[in-house]
A and B are shown apart, each in its own frame.
Chain A
Amino acid sequence: AQSVAQPEDQVNVAEGNPLTVKCTYSVSGNPYLFWYVQYPNRGLQFLLKYITGDNLVKGSYGFEAEFNKSQTSFHLKKPSALVSDSALYFCAVFSGGYNKLIFGAGTRLAVHP
Protein backbone atom coordinates (compact mmCIF):
# COMPACT_ATOMS: atom_id res chain seq x y z
CA ALA A 1 0.00 0.00 0.00
CA GLN A 2 1.12 3.53 -0.73
CA SER A 3 1.73 5.60 2.38
CA VAL A 4 3.55 8.56 3.84
CA ALA A 5 4.66 8.88 7.45
CA GLN A 6 5.62 12.01 9.33
CA PRO A 7 6.87 10.61 12.62
CA GLU A 8 6.84 13.89 14.56
CA ASP A 9 3.64 15.69 15.46
CA GLN A 10 5.62 18.80 16.39
CA VAL A 11 9.15 20.10 15.92
CA ASN A 12 10.52 22.91 18.06
CA VAL A 13 13.57 24.89 17.04
CA ALA A 14 15.19 28.16 18.02
CA GLU A 15 15.35 30.96 15.49
CA GLY A 16 18.61 30.86 13.56
CA ASN A 17 19.16 27.14 14.13
CA PRO A 18 18.85 24.56 11.37
CA LEU A 19 15.58 22.68 11.13
CA THR A 20 14.58 19.25 9.85
CA VAL A 21 11.07 17.92 9.34
CA LYS A 22 11.05 14.19 8.69
CA CYS A 23 9.13 12.20 6.09
CA THR A 24 9.31 8.56 5.05
CA TYR A 25 7.33 6.90 2.30
CA SER A 26 6.25 3.54 1.00
CA VAL A 27 5.35 3.30 -2.66
CA SER A 28 5.71 0.79 -5.45
CA GLY A 29 7.60 2.08 -8.43
CA ASN A 30 9.31 5.45 -8.64
CA PRO A 31 8.39 7.89 -5.88
CA TYR A 32 7.28 11.39 -6.73
CA LEU A 33 7.47 13.42 -3.53
CA PHE A 34 6.17 16.81 -2.48
CA TRP A 35 6.30 19.19 0.48
CA TYR A 36 3.54 21.69 1.28
CA VAL A 37 3.17 24.29 4.03
CA GLN A 38 -0.06 25.48 5.63
CA TYR A 39 -0.49 28.65 7.67
CA PRO A 40 -3.47 28.93 10.06
CA ASN A 41 -6.86 28.87 8.35
CA ARG A 42 -5.26 28.92 4.91
CA GLY A 43 -4.87 26.49 2.04
CA LEU A 44 -1.68 24.56 1.37
CA GLN A 45 1.23 26.18 -0.45
CA PHE A 46 3.63 24.16 -2.57
CA LEU A 47 7.27 24.23 -1.36
CA LEU A 48 9.18 21.75 -3.50
CA LYS A 49 9.07 18.40 -5.25
CA TYR A 50 11.30 15.49 -6.19
CA ILE A 51 10.66 13.79 -9.51
CA THR A 52 14.06 12.56 -10.63
CA GLY A 53 17.69 13.66 -10.75
CA ASP A 54 19.66 15.37 -7.99
CA ASN A 55 18.80 14.03 -4.55
CA LEU A 56 18.94 17.51 -3.02
CA VAL A 57 15.96 19.57 -4.10
CA LYS A 58 15.76 23.30 -3.48
CA GLY A 59 12.42 25.03 -3.05
CA SER A 60 10.68 28.18 -1.91
CA TYR A 61 11.58 30.34 1.11
CA GLY A 62 15.04 28.78 1.50
CA PHE A 63 13.77 25.25 2.11
CA GLU A 64 15.38 22.17 0.63
CA ALA A 65 14.74 18.45 0.88
CA GLU A 66 16.97 15.44 0.56
CA PHE A 67 15.73 12.33 -1.20
CA ASN A 68 17.24 9.12 0.16
CA LYS A 69 16.15 6.05 -1.75
CA SER A 70 17.79 3.48 0.54
CA GLN A 71 16.11 4.94 3.60
CA THR A 72 12.88 5.80 1.72
CA SER A 73 13.02 9.28 3.20
CA PHE A 74 12.44 12.82 1.99
CA HIS A 75 13.29 15.11 4.91
CA LEU A 76 12.65 18.84 4.68
CA LYS A 77 15.48 21.11 5.82
CA LYS A 78 16.42 24.73 6.23
CA PRO A 79 19.85 25.99 7.35
CA SER A 80 18.53 28.85 9.51
CA ALA A 81 14.96 28.90 10.84
CA LEU A 82 12.80 32.00 11.03
CA VAL A 83 9.90 32.64 13.39
CA SER A 84 7.76 33.14 10.28
CA ASP A 85 8.48 29.52 9.27
CA SER A 86 6.16 28.39 12.07
CA ALA A 87 3.37 26.49 10.33
CA LEU A 88 2.02 23.02 9.54
CA TYR A 89 4.08 21.05 7.03
CA PHE A 90 2.80 18.18 4.90
CA CYS A 91 4.75 15.59 2.97
CA ALA A 92 2.96 13.89 0.07
CA VAL A 93 3.66 11.17 -2.48
CA PHE A 94 2.05 10.79 -5.87
CA SER A 95 0.52 7.39 -6.27
CA GLY A 96 0.49 6.63 -9.97
CA GLY A 97 -1.63 3.57 -9.49
CA TYR A 98 -4.31 5.61 -7.80
CA ASN A 99 -3.64 8.82 -9.73
CA LYS A 100 -3.69 10.99 -6.64
CA LEU A 101 -1.54 12.54 -3.93
CA ILE A 102 -1.29 10.77 -0.59
CA PHE A 103 -0.59 13.12 2.31
CA GLY A 104 1.09 12.54 5.63
CA ALA A 105 -0.64 13.63 8.82
CA GLY A 106 1.42 16.81 9.03
CA THR A 107 4.12 18.16 11.36
CA ARG A 108 3.69 21.38 13.24
CA LEU A 109 6.88 23.46 13.23
CA ALA A 110 7.32 25.98 16.02
CA VAL A 111 10.26 28.38 15.74
CA HIS A 112 10.97 30.26 18.95
CA PRO A 113 12.66 33.69 19.07
Chain B
Amino acid sequence: DGGITQSPKYLFRKEGQNVTLSCEQNLNHDAMYWYRQDPGQGLRLIYYSQIVNDFQKGDIAEGYSVSREKKESFPLTVTSAQKNPTAFYLCASSINPSGPYNEQFFGPGTRLTVL
Protein backbone atom coordinates (compact mmCIF):
# COMPACT_ATOMS: atom_id res chain seq x y z
CA ASP B 1 0.00 0.00 0.00
CA GLY B 2 2.99 2.31 0.26
CA GLY B 3 2.85 5.49 -1.77
CA ILE B 4 -0.89 5.58 -2.32
CA THR B 5 -3.27 6.81 0.34
CA GLN B 6 -7.04 6.66 0.35
CA SER B 7 -9.38 8.38 2.74
CA PRO B 8 -11.54 7.83 4.55
CA LYS B 9 -11.14 4.15 5.35
CA TYR B 10 -14.86 3.82 6.09
CA LEU B 11 -17.62 6.06 4.74
CA PHE B 12 -21.32 6.05 5.38
CA ARG B 13 -23.72 7.77 3.02
CA LYS B 14 -27.38 8.50 3.23
CA GLU B 15 -29.46 7.92 0.15
CA GLY B 16 -29.51 10.96 -2.11
CA GLN B 17 -26.13 12.26 -0.98
CA ASN B 18 -23.03 12.71 -3.06
CA VAL B 19 -19.78 11.64 -1.43
CA THR B 20 -16.16 12.06 -2.52
CA LEU B 21 -13.42 9.49 -1.97
CA SER B 22 -9.88 10.76 -1.85
CA CYS B 23 -6.86 9.16 -3.55
CA GLU B 24 -3.36 10.59 -3.39
CA GLN B 25 -0.07 9.13 -4.64
CA ASN B 26 3.52 10.27 -4.16
CA LEU B 27 5.03 7.81 -6.64
CA ASN B 28 5.13 10.32 -9.49
CA HIS B 29 2.99 7.95 -11.56
CA ASP B 30 1.26 9.23 -14.66
CA ALA B 31 -1.75 6.91 -14.61
CA MET B 32 -4.38 6.49 -11.92
CA TYR B 33 -7.39 4.19 -11.69
CA TRP B 34 -10.54 3.65 -9.67
CA TYR B 35 -11.97 0.16 -9.16
CA ARG B 36 -15.02 -1.15 -7.41
CA GLN B 37 -14.85 -4.50 -5.64
CA ASP B 38 -17.93 -6.55 -4.81
CA PRO B 39 -17.86 -10.04 -3.31
CA GLY B 40 -17.34 -12.73 -5.95
CA GLN B 41 -16.99 -10.25 -8.80
CA GLY B 42 -13.37 -9.26 -8.70
CA LEU B 43 -12.44 -5.71 -9.59
CA ARG B 44 -14.36 -3.59 -12.06
CA LEU B 45 -12.89 -0.44 -13.56
CA ILE B 46 -14.85 2.76 -12.94
CA TYR B 47 -12.60 5.49 -14.39
CA TYR B 48 -8.97 5.91 -15.30
CA SER B 49 -6.67 8.79 -16.10
CA GLN B 50 -3.48 8.61 -18.12
CA ILE B 51 -2.46 12.22 -17.65
CA VAL B 52 -3.45 15.35 -15.79
CA ASN B 53 -6.71 16.95 -16.94
CA ASP B 54 -7.71 13.85 -18.89
CA PHE B 55 -9.71 10.77 -17.90
CA GLN B 56 -11.75 8.01 -19.52
CA LYS B 57 -14.75 5.97 -18.48
CA GLY B 58 -14.20 2.40 -17.50
CA ASP B 59 -16.71 -0.43 -17.51
CA ILE B 60 -19.08 0.90 -14.83
CA ALA B 61 -18.81 4.70 -14.90
CA GLU B 62 -22.52 5.48 -14.54
CA GLY B 63 -23.26 7.31 -11.30
CA TYR B 64 -19.63 8.25 -10.72
CA SER B 65 -17.47 11.27 -11.58
CA VAL B 66 -13.77 12.05 -11.30
CA SER B 67 -11.29 14.88 -11.77
CA ARG B 68 -7.56 14.96 -12.35
CA GLU B 69 -6.38 18.51 -11.68
CA LYS B 70 -3.08 17.41 -10.17
CA LYS B 71 -0.79 14.51 -11.02
CA GLU B 72 -0.86 13.16 -7.49
CA SER B 73 -4.62 13.33 -6.89
CA PHE B 74 -7.59 11.51 -8.44
CA PRO B 75 -10.75 11.95 -6.34
CA LEU B 76 -13.87 9.91 -7.06
CA THR B 77 -17.37 11.25 -6.43
CA VAL B 78 -20.16 8.77 -5.93
CA THR B 79 -23.33 10.59 -6.93
CA SER B 80 -26.91 9.97 -5.94
CA ALA B 81 -27.42 8.51 -9.42
CA GLN B 82 -25.39 5.44 -8.45
CA LYS B 83 -28.14 3.02 -7.47
CA ASN B 84 -26.10 0.52 -5.48
CA PRO B 85 -22.95 2.22 -4.21
CA THR B 86 -22.22 -0.02 -1.24
CA ALA B 87 -18.86 -1.58 -2.08
CA PHE B 88 -15.11 -1.52 -1.46
CA TYR B 89 -13.39 1.12 -3.62
CA LEU B 90 -9.76 0.78 -4.65
CA CYS B 91 -7.51 3.38 -6.19
CA ALA B 92 -4.38 2.40 -8.11
CA SER B 93 -1.58 4.01 -10.08
CA SER B 94 1.06 2.97 -12.58
CA ILE B 95 4.11 4.56 -14.16
CA ASN B 96 3.18 4.16 -17.81
CA PRO B 97 -0.48 3.87 -18.69
CA SER B 98 0.24 2.44 -22.11
CA GLY B 99 2.90 -0.04 -21.23
CA PRO B 100 2.10 -3.60 -20.21
CA TYR B 101 5.35 -3.89 -18.33
CA ASN B 102 4.32 -1.83 -15.37
CA GLU B 103 2.21 -3.22 -12.62
CA GLN B 104 -0.41 -1.18 -10.84
CA PHE B 105 0.08 -0.18 -7.21
CA PHE B 106 -3.01 -0.13 -5.02
CA GLY B 107 -4.15 1.97 -2.10
CA PRO B 108 -5.68 0.44 1.04
CA GLY B 109 -9.25 1.05 -0.08
CA THR B 110 -12.38 2.82 1.14
CA ARG B 111 -15.42 0.88 2.25
CA LEU B 112 -18.59 2.79 1.40
CA THR B 113 -21.89 1.85 2.99
CA VAL B 114 -25.25 3.37 2.14
CA LEU B 115 -27.52 3.71 5.14
Which residues of chain A have a CB within 8 Å of any CB of chain B? 9, 32, 34, 36, 41-46, 49, 51, 90, 94, 96, 99-101, 103-106
Contacts and interface: CB of A to CB of B under 8 A. Distances in A.
Given A99-B98, A103-B43, A105-B40, A41 B48 contact: no
A99 B56 CA distance: 11
A74 B2 CA distance: 27
A96 B98 CA distance: 8
Contacts, number: 55
Contact of A99 (B90, B97, B105): B97
Given A32-B100, A49-B101, 17 more contacts: A34-B103, A41-B109, A42-B109, A43-B6, A43-B90, A43-B92, A43-B106, A43-B109, A44-B106, A45-B106, A46-B103, A51-B101, A100-B33, A100-B58, A104-B42, A105-B41, A106-B42
Contact of B104 (A9, A101, A106): A101
Nearest to A42: B108
A41 B111 CA distance: 8
A89 to B, nearest CB: 11
A51 B106 contact: no
Contacts of A105: 40-42
A49 B43 contact: no
Listed from nearest, the 4 A-B pairs whose CB atoms lie closest are A43-B106, A32-B100, A94-B100, A105-B42
- Which DSSP category, helix, strand, loop or mixed, fits chain A's interface? strand
A32 B92 CA distance: 18
B21 to A, nearest CB: 13
A18 B84 CA distance: 40
